[in-house]
Each structure stands twice: as structure tokens, then as C-alpha cells.
Amino acid sequence: MAENYPLSLKASLVFEQSYGGIEGDSASSAELYALLSAISGAALKQSLAVTGSVNQFGEIQAIGGVNEKIEGFFDVCEQRGLNGSQGVLIPEANVKHLMLRKNVVEAVKTEKFHVYPIKTVDEGIERLTGMRAGQPDARNHYPEDSFNGLVQKKLSELAEKMHQFAQGAEQGGQRESKA
């Protein structure tokens, strides 16, 4: 995102590598989606649960306990009332491991609940926001009306503000106040 200007944002995500109990890096994609949502200002659908590890290339990697995670979210949705908008984003690599309870399978067949296998962060962003992710052009600029375009625009604005702040500091701290 910041190949054309300095990255003026610092964010920390926890990519835990412990694999006992419920700990692990299964939430790393969810953490990344939350961060990108905050940067872009685009809301994420709250009717969808997310699981999946993400690597440095934006690929969603397999996780453990996929059946239990899907069934756990399904149970919550069923108790609150299935409305057809609820579902779970899972790594496509986990599809071969699915062995869901009959009531979950039936809800998926009747489209009262959904299981969305995804390969990349961009696929997840599109599902979670309803916006296209967008692909960069030859100059590494994303389309302005795409999700990645919103992220890039915000990062560019932050870089410009940082530049303006640094110029003010170089001039003895006298920055112009805009009222």
C-alpha cells in the first residue's frame, strides 16, 4: 500500500503461535480485517464470523478446529434466530476437513446459514464489506472506489499529515492553525 509514499501508520497485531486449547493464530485474518476496516472506514458485516490464519502474502491458511468453530457460531445464530445472512468465512484449505452436524448441513443447504471458503484476504474483504477489493495498476494505485483504494487513500492522507507536521516542527514548531 505504501510503495509510493512513506507509511505513516504503526499498528500491532498478535500472531500467536501456540496451538493448545483455543489459542493460536486462527484469528490473525480477523485481526487484519478489523485493522483494514478501521483504516478504510468501511464497516464489516457483523453477521459473519471469520477464522483463518494469514501469511505475509495475504493468503488465508488452514486452521485447526474448523468444525467446532463453525458449529459454535451456528449455535449462537440459531439461538438468536437464523435469518439467512449469517455464516462463517473459513480457509478454503479446510473444506476437505468439514464434518459438520446434520442441522448445520441442513441450514447450509436451505441457505439459512453459509460457509464461505476463501483463499485470500481480498476475497474475505469482498465478502465482509460487499465492496470489490480492487487491483493495483502499473503505478501501484488502486481504484478509488475499491476497498483497497479507500485504504490507500487514508494511508496517503496520513503520510501527508505526517509530512506537514514534520515541516511545522522544522520551522520551530510554528504550525498554522486551521479553525
Catalytic residue check, 26: yes
Whether residue 11 is contained in a domain is answered as no
Contact indicator for 89, 119 with CB cutoff of 8 Å:
no
What are the pLDDT digits (tens) for 35-94? 999 999 999 999 999 999 999 899 999 999 999 999 999 999 999 999 999 999 999 999
Q: Which of 26, 28, 40, 146 is catalytic?
A: 26
Q: For residue 117, give the H/E element and its range.
A: strand 114-118
What are the pLDDT digits (tens) for 139-170? 999 999 999 999 999 988 888 887 788 777 77
Whether residue 81 is contained in a domain is answered as yes
Q: Which of 29, 37, 40, 69 is catalytic?
A: 69
Whether residue 14 is contained in a domain is answered as no
Catalytic residue check, 154: no
**pLDDT higher than threshold 70 for residue 173:** no
Give the range of the structural domain holding residue 55, as residue numbers without chain letter. 28-165
CATH number at residue 44: 3.30.230.10
Question: For the whole prediction, is pTM greater than 0.85?
Answer: no
**pLDDT higher than threshold 70 for residue 20:** no
C-alpha 15/C-alpha 26 separation (Å) is: 9
Whether residue 96 is contained in a domain is answered as yes
Give the number of other Cβ atoms within 10 Å of residue 40's Cβ.
22
User: What is the bridge-based pairing of β-strands 87-91 and 48-50?
Assistant: parallel
Whether residue 151 is contained in a domain is answered as yes
Whether residue 5 is contained in a domain is answered as no
Give the pLDDT of residue 161: 82
Whether residue 18 is contained in a domain is answered as no
Q: Count Cβ atoms within 10 A of the Cβ of residue 79 and give its class: 0-12 exposed, 13-18 middle, 19 or more buried.
A: exposed
**pLDDT higher than threshold 80 for residue 115:** yes
Whether residue 21 is contained in a domain is answered as no
